[in-house]
Structure 1
Amino acid sequence: MVAALSDSTVLVAGAGAAGISAATYLAGIGTRVRLVDDRYSTPATVTLAGVQVPGSSIETALDAGFDDVELLVVSPGFAPTHPLPVTAAAAAVAVWGEVELAWQLDRAGLLGAPRTWLVVTGTNGKTTTTGMVEAIMSASGAAAAACGNYGLTVLDAMVGEPAGARVDVLCVELSSFQLHWAPSVHADAAVVLNVAEDHLDWHGSFAAYAADKALALQARVAVVGDDDAVAATLPIGPDSRRVGFTLNEPAPGQLGVRGGMLVDAAFGDVEVELIDAGAVRPAGPSGIADALAAAALARAVGVTPAQVAQGLRAYAPAAHRGEVVATADLGGVAVKFVDDSKATNPHAAMAALAGHDRVVLIAGGLLKGASVDELVTAHAHRLAGVVAIGRDRRVIVDTIARHAPEVPTVTVFTGDDGRVSVVEGTVLAQPAVEAPNQPVDPVRDPSSSQAVMTAAVEQAWRLAAASDAGAASEPVSAVLLAPAAASLDMFAGYGVRGDAFATAARSVVESARANR
């Protein structure tokens, strides 16, 4: 089909990064492109590759039917049950995502010799692992680029971004959405890091979510997180070689940790050391697991142990992923304020918590139907206190009341009068005081969101001080923002949420120093 695209009509649904990338490429090769996006209430005009392409609302496109359309390219946000792909499938029109389009073009050789694809997916750790893979491949001398759900779209990476240079190795972070719409991708090596409840509203069930994650394992080398109960049991492709990674000592066919070193017992005839675990950043179990996964992908395509070590040492974690934004003294203990705003689901928050002995946690936002029961039951012993924010804050508080009532909680929210309110205790005795779970508009009222975060950090610091005064078995070492939830109820994105936390943390630290 791809060879005939220049003489076809393609409907591209969604004018975000993926849709614009696909539509721009297709318009540039002469394809008749129809671009639709339901964010436009009236027909709009978009310029792609110097060609003006008429856009319309999705409803108009559905009314028009698919009689003249050979292919529908959907953006990742379109769920399988959305009327547009459902109608297209009923009309026998192929439905691809931008990643599938990129794969088909690459395999057909229409953008030069096919690239090496290294694919990363999982509920938690995708971006860190993808960045590590890019750093390792660059250290090996390959022309590599991180793309997919990370920065560049895959298609943009292949057509010459950045700076017009050819990319030979695609380090591709893929979400479950992207994998669903890219079933043909059979990478050179791919990893499923872990699988836990997330995006159930999109997939409809956990089984469907896990099945889409498993699509990545059709790769030549299928790498799985053997410490994760779900990932470890996912099926791999019939012609795939399975490689595992573990934080324990590795068995043959695994990468793992032995004597404080990351080691490879999967590639080669003898086990080889890769790098000291203490040199991995971000530090902690989740960072080490991500490094093992990245190393496995690189080793699968011939990268040497020395190059793996060089790349991992060069890797610098992106912002909002365990970033220490401030430090304050509390009774002789250095308490770190840690921004892990990228922990947008409970599984990611659990990984963040596992890196600390005792913390005050700031959590809440849009849970997307995920449970936080396991987070609380598994890590209650680490919690010196919890501050709950965001639309689903009551879920956080209720879960603690049921499973760890000894953990002090504070709820911070914007009340009916627009002022920030604070309620202490695991049971909200007067829930009518709160506004009825209506989110702050992050565009119209960013100051209110910042005010809530500032109050939350102040309350977290108070809980840390109270825990220290109570002579807990372990002193509080961190105030941790690991929300276990998405941010769009209060903030324009997880990065904005993390920046708000950093601003508040620095203010608290300055006040603490001034009052000493």
Structure 2
Amino acid sequence: MGSGKVTDWQGKHVTVAGLGVSGVPAAKVLHARGAIVTVVNDGDDARAREQAAELEALGIPVRLGDGATLPEGTELIVTAPGWKPDKPLFTAAREAGVDVWGDVELAWRLRGPDAAPWLAITGTNGKTTTTQMLASILKAAGLRTAAVGNIGVSLLDAVLGEEQYDVLAVELSSYQLHWAPSLRAHSAAVLNLAPDHLDWHGSMEAYAADKGRIYEGNRIACVYNVADKATEDLVRGADVEEGCRAIGFTLGAPGPSQLGVVDGILVDRAFVENRQKNAQELAEISDVNPPAPHNIANALAAAALARAFGVPPKAVRDGLRAFTPDAHRIAHVADVDGVAYVDDSKATNTHAAEASLAAYESIVWIAGGLAKGASFDELVAKSAKRLRAVVLIGADRALIREALARHAPEVPVVDLDRTDTGAMLQAVTEAKRLAQPGDTVLLAPACASMDMFTNYNKRGDAFAEAVRELGS
């Protein structure tokens, strides 16, 4: 089962690794095509049993609590993206010469002959926002499109559903890219690279290499971040189709083959006639919501991919104006007594928190949670001058406290020694006490949320609820 399409699934023994949002649809799709499907899953909780019952009703056997053993006769594994490459199941597969695909690879292989091209986006931070911005721009150009992939809309559904698309805006995680060897996008962007998920990939080099797979075989444009040399290095290392161009985006004035900013205007010097001398105005900074620096970078990356697909300048402006960001991404909750309260619970790593902190001048910072192996020295050193005070919550808060002691010893720190959900109200109350009119109280935890909350959405909701209690 090397590269190329698999047209005949009849009687093929396929093991689907993991239930959940990708495993269940994959099992159903393969079963419907005549494959002999077995599902294996590590967990055996109520949700898993419910999903297993649904599949078993279709005649698909499910092995709960047994994700390590390779079922006899397996010819292919289709895995949930989050399963680590070093799992015993995959070691057994390698030894047996069995290919492992992710849900993205499966969707790519199941595309029809007239399938919509993919404009693909990855990066440590900003993926979802950029993908949604891109879809908004493509829609403004009158194209049939959807934001899909790691964003919650299953790629399998998009590829196999009734709806016909002209082009897809595809968000891809490093996990998904790891398991998608034959993916070849029309054009792709790596927004940025910072240490994240190193516990999964094993090293920064392996993480970067998986991100870089998004450029393999690109036809028109490899979009990179001028301010992040690692992204340009990935373009240089990619094996692309002849004529494919490297297109940079920058918050400064763009050079030829770049998009950038001049006097508050987003301009294109890549997809214009005579790019040595000419530039095309696309939109104003005020068209970007919110106009924080990292979000302008997201808008430029989305614009670059849209322009690579031939979208006119007016659609870039109209699409950016029509775009509204998701909840918990630099969301302004309220002003209380002259202090702004901002929820960026989505800042689950140091890179995202750094971008968030850079958007405000004087900050009372609420931070902490699960560090996922991260170090906080660089983040604190870069942001120290903006910090009025810090309130720490969560399991790994000591790591941030120690970085503050090293790099911002004069900044007052309140260390809340609790990880119950009620800690958020106390954190916001402490932040109010420390803040002065004109300050921003910013929830940008730089950590994952699962020590205290189900997910970052719940953490952001708790923050907003606490702010409303203050103001009432």
- Which category of TM-score, normalised to the shorter sequence, fits these structures? over 0.9
The one of 314, 318, 322 equivalent to 2:322 is 314
The aligned amino acid for 1:38 is D
The one of 390, 402, 405 equivalent to 2:406 is 402
- Counterpart CA distance in 2 for 1:281 and 1:48 is 42
Judged with a 3 Å threshold, the aligned counterparts in structure 2 of structure 1 residues 153 and 116 are, in CA distance, closer, same or farther, namely same
2:229 — aligned with what?
229
1:426 — aligned with what?
none
Aligned partners of 1:27 and 1:49 also within 8 Å: no
- Counterpart CA distance in 2 for 1:320 and 1:211 is 29
The aligned amino acid for 2:401 is V
RMSD: 1.7
Aligned partners of 2:177 and 2:210 also within 8 Å: yes
User: For residues 407-418 of structure 1, what are the structure 2 equivalents within 5 Å?
Assistant: 407-414=411-418
The one of 454, 468, 471 equivalent to 2:425 is 454
Runs of 4+ in 1 over 6 A off after TM superposition: none
Name the SS for the 2:66 alignment partner. helix
The one of 72, 77, 84 equivalent to 2:77 is 72
1:430 — aligned with what?
none
Name the SS for the 2:384 alignment partner. helix
How far residue 183 of structure 1 moved from its aligned partner, in angstroms, is 2.1
The aligned amino acid for 1:339 is D
Aligned partners of 2:56 and 2:62 also within 8 Å: no
| 1:348 pairs with 2:352 | yes
2:341 — aligned with what?
337
Aligned partners of 1:360 and 1:460 also within 8 Å: yes
Cα-to-partner distance string for 1:178-226 (whole Å, 9 max, x where unaligned):
1101122110011000000100100111111111111112222110011
2:60 — aligned with what?
53
How far residue 7 of structure 1 moved from its aligned partner, in angstroms, is 2.7
Choose 19-28 or 248-257, whichever is displaced more: 19-28
- Counterpart CA distance in 2 for 1:5 and 1:388 is 53
Structure 2: tracts of 5 or more residues without a match: none
Aligned partners of 2:42 and 2:67 also within 8 Å: no
- Counterpart CA distance in 1 for 2:383 and 2:232 is 23
Aligned partners of 1:222 and 1:236 also within 8 Å: no
Aligned partners of 1:25 and 1:49 also within 8 Å: no
Query: TM-score with structure 1 length normalisation?
Result: 0.85
Query: TM-score with structure 2 length normalisation?
Result: 0.93
Percent of aligned pairs sharing the same letter:
50
The aligned amino acid for 2:448 is A
The one of 208, 211, 223 equivalent to 2:209 is 211
Structure 1: tracts of 5 or more residues without a match: 415-439, 441-447, 469-474, 511-516
Aligned partners of 1:236 and 1:242 also within 8 Å: no
How far residue 52 of structure 1 moved from its aligned partner, in angstroms, is 2.9
User: For residues 276-425 of structure 1, what are the structure 2 equivalents within 5 Å?
Assistant: 276-329=284-337, 334-414=338-418
How far residue 87 of structure 1 moved from its aligned partner, in angstroms, is 1.1
Choose 164-173 or 270-279, whichever is displaced more: 164-173
How far residue 168 of structure 1 moved from its aligned partner, in angstroms, is 3.1
| 1:504 pairs with 2:466 | yes
Aligned partners of 1:376 and 1:399 also within 8 Å: yes
The one of 259, 265, 285 equivalent to 2:263 is 259
| 1:494 pairs with 2:433 | no
- Counterpart CA distance in 1 for 2:167 and 2:298 is 19
| 1:103 pairs with 2:108 | yes
- Counterpart CA distance in 2 for 1:54 and 1:103 is 25
Aligned partners of 1:6 and 1:26 also within 8 Å: no
The size of the alignment, in residue pairs, is 455
2:447 — aligned with what?
485
The aligned amino acid for 1:73 is V
- Counterpart CA distance in 2 for 1:233 and 1:353 is 27
The aligned amino acid for 2:38 is R
| 1:141 pairs with 2:139 | no
Name the SS for the 1:51 alignment partner. coil
User: For residues 142-157 of structure 1, what are the structure 2 equivalents within 5 Å?
Assistant: 142-157=143-158
The aligned amino acid for 2:53 is V
Name the SS for the 1:499 alignment partner. helix
Name the SS for the 1:47 alignment partner. helix
Aligned partners of 1:12 and 1:33 also within 8 Å: yes
1:202 — aligned with what?
200
- Counterpart CA distance in 2 for 1:386 and 1:104 is 49
How far residue 57 of structure 1 moved from its aligned partner, in angstroms, is 3.2
How far residue 245 of structure 1 moved from its aligned partner, in angstroms, is 0.2
- Counterpart CA distance in 2 for 1:37 and 1:59 is 6
- Counterpart CA distance in 2 for 1:389 and 1:275 is 40
Cα-to-partner distance string for 1:387-407 (whole Å, 9 max, x where unaligned):
111111000101100111011
Judged with a 3 Å threshold, the aligned counterparts in structure 2 of structure 1 residues 293 and 23 are, in CA distance, closer, same or farther, namely same
How far residue 253 of structure 1 moved from its aligned partner, in angstroms, is 0.6
Aligned partners of 2:131 and 2:170 also within 8 Å: yes
1:114 — aligned with what?
115
Aligned partners of 1:46 and 1:53 also within 8 Å: no
- Counterpart CA distance in 2 for 1:91 and 1:149 is 30
